[in-house]
Structure 1
Amino acid sequence: MNEHIFNFIQKQTCATICCVDEQGKPYCFNCFFAFSSDLGLLYFKSSAGSYHSALLKKNPFIAGTILPDKLRTLLVQGIQFEGEVLNEHHPLMGQASAHYHKKHPMALAMSGDIWTIQVNHIKMTDSTKGFGKKIAWNRTEQSSLADA
């Protein structure tokens, strides 16, 4: 994964994730997350009874965004990503709880399920590197691409 993308994601704490309901309507939710750049996995915790948990069990394909915890209006930075929620029996789920709670230890006191998103595509906009600068990463290519 591109080091610039990884460093940006590691510094942030909150993501917006969008899933789709049975009628094809989008539904977004915000969550605290942890990220594994080695595996390209994003972890979040959510109540088992939440509406988005039910939607993700039916349709695991998601899109999302990560913005800086502190926005700077003149220097636009952010991540757009696409991925798929892994089912609870997937082999990559083994370290999900440990990885998430390492970044968010206070979350141990709260009930909920840890979810894992296999991130398949990332597009980062980073105006600190030049106006409208884009950096992309694709799981299938396992490398970063510089976009104009």
Structure 2
Amino acid sequence: MNQELIIWNYIRSNHVLSITSFHNGEIWAANLFYAVDYERKRLLFMTSEINTKHGAMMLANSHVVGTVCDQIRDVAQLKGLQYAGNATIVNTQEALDIYMQQFPMAKHHQETLWMITFTALKLTDNSAGFGTKYTWNLE
């Protein structure tokens, strides 16, 4: 199985990411639910662009980094993803439909829909052998 497919299978098996934004020397992190737009190889999430610190910072600087990780206690089975990419607002019905399909409760607390397009992905998968790494980089 190729590395990109292994990484995307892991991303699709989870639903919470950490995202770190930075602007003017400030750094801020948040945890968010995400939906996968596998066809376009992007993640979709909702957050306010003006009522959250990370949203305001992403408007000013779209470059973000973050993680997706399991909550497994057995170190031999632990997996985790590190990523770098760009977070931008997306205003398409198709993207909204993908997000709402996974998180229908968001209809009642709808915020701004964002997408992350990746520039680099690194998955550590101890279940494939301690410290096994799979990587993907935008070329």
TM-score range, shorter chain: 0.7 to 0.9
Q: Does structure 2 conserve the Cα–Cα contact (< 8 Å) formed by 1:83 and 1:117?
A: yes
Counterpart position of 2:40: 39
Letter in 2 for 1:25: E
TM-score in terms of structure 1 length: 0.83
Could you tell me how far 1:94 is from its partner in structure 2? Answer: 5.2
Counterpart position of 1:52: 54
Aligned-partner Cα distance in 2 for 1:62–1:9:
17
Counterpart position of 1:144: none
Counterpart position of 1:84: 86
User: % of aligned pairs identical?
Assistant: 27
Aligned-partner Cα distance in 2 for 1:11–1:107:
20
For structure 1, the residue ranges without an aligned partner over 5 or more in a row are 141-148
Aligned-partner Cα distance in 1 for 2:123–2:82:
6
Could you tell me how far 1:3 is from its partner in structure 2? Answer: 2.0
Counterpart position of 1:4: 6
Aligned-partner Cα distance in 2 for 1:8–1:94:
26
Map 1:104-115 to 2 at 5 A: 104-115=103-114
Aligned-partner Cα distance in 2 for 1:60–1:94:
22
For structure 2, the residue ranges without an aligned partner over 5 or more in a row are none
- Secondary structure of the 2:40 match is coil
Could you tell me how far 1:103 is from its partner in structure 2? Answer: 1.2
TM-score in terms of structure 2 length: 0.88
Q: Does structure 2 conserve the Cα–Cα contact (< 8 Å) formed by 1:96 and 1:115?
A: no
Letter in 2 for 1:56: M
Q: Does structure 2 conserve the Cα–Cα contact (< 8 Å) formed by 1:76 and 1:126?
A: yes
CA RMSD of aligned residues (A): 1.7
The CA deviation string for residues 66-85 of structure 1, in whole angstroms up to 9 with x for no partner, is 002x3233222100000012
Counterpart position of 1:16: 18
